[in-house]
Amino acid sequence: MSRVSKIRYFFEQSWLLIVASFIFGLLIAVTNASLDTRIKQNLKNKLNKLMKELISDANEFKIVADQAEIMGDKGKVVRTDIYQAFDANESSVGFAFEAVGAGFADKIKIVIAVDGKFERFFGFKVLSSSETPGFGSKIAEDDPASNEDLVDEFKDAPAGEVKLVRTGKRREDKSEANDDEIIAITGATVSSEAVVRIFNTYTEQVRAKLQEKGLIGNGR
Amino acid sequence: MDTVTALLLAFISIVLINNLVFTKFLGICPYLGVSGRIDMAFGMGLAVTFVVTLSGTLTWLIDNLILMPMHLEVTRYVCFILVIAGAVQLVEMYVRKFFPSLYKSFGIFLPLITTNCAILGLCLFINLWEIDSLIDAVVRSFGAGIGFTMAICIMAGIRENLNLADVPACLKGAPITLITAGLLTLAFMGFAGMIR
Amino acid sequence: MADEARAGPAVYKETLLAGLWRENPVFRLLLGMCPTLAVTAAVKPALTMGCCVIFVLVCSNVVVSLMRNLLKPHLRILMFTLAISTFVTIADLFLKAFVPRMSETLGPYVPLIIVNCIIICRAEACASKNGLAISIIDAVGMGVGFTLTLCVLAGVRELLSTGKIFEAQVTPDWFVPWAAMSMPVGAFVTLGLLLGLVNVLSKSRS
């Protein structure tokens, strides 16, 4: 008798809680189901938009290496998708991939684009960063006031190991000797260094992965 | 040895560099309310450290062992807050029963802690930072609590002295505390970039 | 209940205006500080956060008010928390779906609405004791008061740190932006000074 009445008491006290939990759970499930595809599409759209900005001839992007494993900065394995860009004639115009590394404040996520033969960079775009506004954030912005643009520094840089320098010739005036030098942004040295480090960590490994798949030649 | 260094760096980073109060704006309400005297501040800090370590661990476990494998991430917020509320209740009951003297020193703050943004905030940040290992989550949660305790004790020390200072009438109380907190934030900015 | 019906519009107006100035959640009740400092670096995120809070406040006040006679006293905080976290999850999903950039900027501060003291306090103090109409109006008043406060703070910070408001250039060329305003320092100091200002204004009124 007392056991049954205990159970009855339990239900009397908590029936509202149980009913409410069901209703709320249902609400969440319904909202999630209806908005899920849209959310996933938003993420894809963002990546596609940035990749298109980098590789202007590209018509569509196809994943050629799904979740490729890259040995990251601190010895941790990171997974990234490597995309190949095709133009309207179905010929390859370049490759693009997400890269992530530690910045001044938190992680910096960028999209790196390389040309079809993996010889020169097209540049990079920042996906997300929380660098100090006004200082480190200059790696992403295109500040018309100053003529410093980190993205420009990477355009047409040779697809290999790059070096960060404090001063030097801008990309337009570069010669063979200092082609692989990237000039840091004033006031954003650590953030510029972080971007260079990300490039250096990822480039060779992505090249190796693509060579494995036979998508680019072995000769350099 | 490498893992220990990594953990040590993670601990220092969350206490000094990514301090929850000064850089992430978490835990401001109790920070303003309870930092009047150092002994109360220390009690609050201890209570928060206790709860946050427990919550951080539990939520990490639930997130990685139950929610992600079963693709129930959408219920994350509901689960986290229920776990935190439950953990706080249990801790309060346990401490009141078995450690009455401890209960006297920080027990009264425990029910307040459920709505402390720092706890839920830390659990969400651990999720955001994609922390892989349990021990890393435990170390960071503990570090967050220590960081909060440190911040609130510093503030309490300053406020005890502010009582004797000549603060303009309109700024007495919360305004001057906020301005002081701002200056402290500026000081702590000096630690930024210390650890890559 | 009877005099509530008679008092009608006057009580409604009073409740609505209370949230805007007399009982402004941030400036007077000192609630909900965490998002106030975190998202007010620019006006757009502040407005988005404000709208989310209004949505969650109204929904949770409605639900609590409808359930108020059925609540068991020792389980009520649990019920409030459950309701609030559900609506915050829904709001977060909507943000991710329709304004993904804002969702990224606001980041973890959207789920932190769950522990925003304003919502639980209004559920406890108002919705659990009053009818549906008053609860909704109270929620709207508090929510709009909160949003306005956030926008004022964000306006000051954005203007001084970038010279723009709502991403439109306002200041003349010779203005050198104060980058510190977009950092935590600026947040704390600006809120402190604004609170001081509010204290001065309310003293001179009374």
Encode chain A (220 residues) as per-residue pLDDT tens digits.
Answer: 578 888 888 887 778 888 888 889 898 889 888 888 888 888 888 888 888 888 887 778 888 877 777 777 666 777 888 888 888 887 888 888 888 887 776 778 888 888 888 888 888 888 877 776 667 777 776 666 666 777 777 777 787 788 887 777 666 666 666 677 788 877 778 888 888 888 888 888 888 888 888 777 664 4
Instruction: Count how many pairs of residues, chain A against chain B, have C-beta atoms within 8 Å.
Output: 15
The verdict on residue B140 lying in a domain is yes
Does residue A220 sit within a domain?
no
Higher pLDDT, C194 or B104: C194
Q: Is A74 on the interface with B (CB under 8 A)?
A: yes
Domain check: are A130 and A186 in the same one? yes
What's the number of domains chain B is made of? 1
φ, ψ at A85 (rounded to 5°):
-95, 135
Classify residue A132 by its DSSP letter: P
**Is C195 an interface residue toward B (CB < 8 Å)?**
yes
Higher-pLDDT residue of A31 and C76 is: A31
For residues A61 and A41, state if they share a domain.
no
**C117-120: Cβ within 8 A, 24+ apart:** C117/B29, C117/B115, C117/C31, C117/C32, C118/C25, C118/C29, C118/C31, C118/C32, C118/C53, C118/C57, C118/C142, C118/C146, C119/C53, C119/C56, C119/C57, C119/C60, C119/C84, C120/B115, C120/C77, C120/C80, C120/C81, C120/C84
pLDDT at position B146 is 93
ipTM of model over 0.90: no
pLDDT computed for residue A220 by the predictor? 42
Same domain, A39 and A68: no
Q: Quick check: helix, strand or coil at residue A125? A: strand
- Cα-Cα-Cα-Cα dihedral sign, residues C39, B173, B32, B150: positive
Element (H, E) at A70: strand A60-71
* Threshold 0.80, pTM exceeds: yes
Render pLDDT for B66-109 as a digit per residue (tens, 0 to 9): 888 888 888 888 989 888 888 888 888 888 888 888 777 766 67
Do both A96 and A34 map to the same domain?
A: no
Which residues does residue B194 pair with via DSSP β-bridges, in sequence order? none
Give the CA dihedral A154, A157, A163, A167, nearest 10 degrees: -70
CB A112 within 8 A of CB A200: no
Considering the domain architecture, whether residues A62 and A100 belong to the same structural domain is answered as yes
Name every chain C residue with its beta carbon within 8 A of the beta carbon of B67.
none
Contact state of C184 with B182 under an 8 Å Cβ cutoff: yes
What is the domain extent for residue A194? 55-212
Instruction: List chain A residues with CB under 8 Å of B75.
Output: 25, 28
User: Quick one: pLDDT at residue A134?
Assistant: 66
Q: Does residue C117 belong to the interface with chain A, where contact is any CB pair within 8 Å?
A: no
Cβ of B193 within 8 Å of Cβ of A32? The answer is no
Whether residues A144 and A66 fall in one domain: yes
- Residue ranges of chain B whose CB lies within 8 Å of a chain A CB: 6, 74-75, 78, 132, 192-193, 196
pLDDT tens per residue across span A85-129: 888 887 888 888 888 887 776 778 888 888 888 888 888 888 877
Domain match, A71 and A156 both: yes
**Size of chain C, expressed as the number of residues it contains:** 206
Rounded to whole angstroms, the Cα distance separating C170 from C156 reads: 12
Residue A34 in any domain: the answer is yes
> Considering the domain boundaries, does residue A106 fall inside one?
yes
Nearest CA in chain A to B193: A104
The string of pLDDT tens digits covering residues B28-56 is 877 777 767 788 888 888 888 988 999 99
Evaluate whether residue A187 is within a structural domain: yes
Whether residues A76 and A167 fall in one domain: yes
- Could you tell me if A195 and A98 lie in one domain? yes
Count chain A–chain C contacts defined by CB atoms under 8 A.
Answer: 60
Mutate to test the interface with B, among C60, C114, C121, C124 (most CBs of B within 10 A): C114
Domain of B85 in residue numbering reads as 24-187
Of residues A57 and C114, more confidently modeled? C114
Examine the domain organization and report whether A160 and A59 are in the same domain. yes
B76 domain residue, yes or no: yes
Instruction: Share the mean pLDDT of chain B.
Output: 84
Picking from A28, A49, A108, A128 by the largest number of C CB atoms within 10 A of its own CB, the best residue to mutate is A28
In 3D space, the residue among C61, C43, C68 whose CA is nearest the CA of residue C120 turns out to be C61
**Cα distance between residue C189 and residue C181, in whole Å:** 9
Check whether residue A129 and residue A85 sit in a common domain.
yes
User: H-type helices in B13-133, by residue range?
Assistant: 28-34, 38-62, 76-98, 100-106, 110-113, 117-128
Res C51 pLDDT > 90: yes
Sign of the CA dihedral with C21 first, then C25, C30, and C36 last: negative
Distance from CA of B196 to the nearest CA of A (A): 7
Domain total for chain A? 2
Instruction: Report the distance separating Cα A105 and Cα A194, nearest Å.
Output: 11
Angstrom distance (rounded) from CA B22 to CA B37: 20
A191 belongs to a structural domain: yes
Chain B neighbours, 3+ Cβ pairs < 8 A: A, C
Interface test with C, best of B67, B80, B185 (most C CBs within 10 A): B185
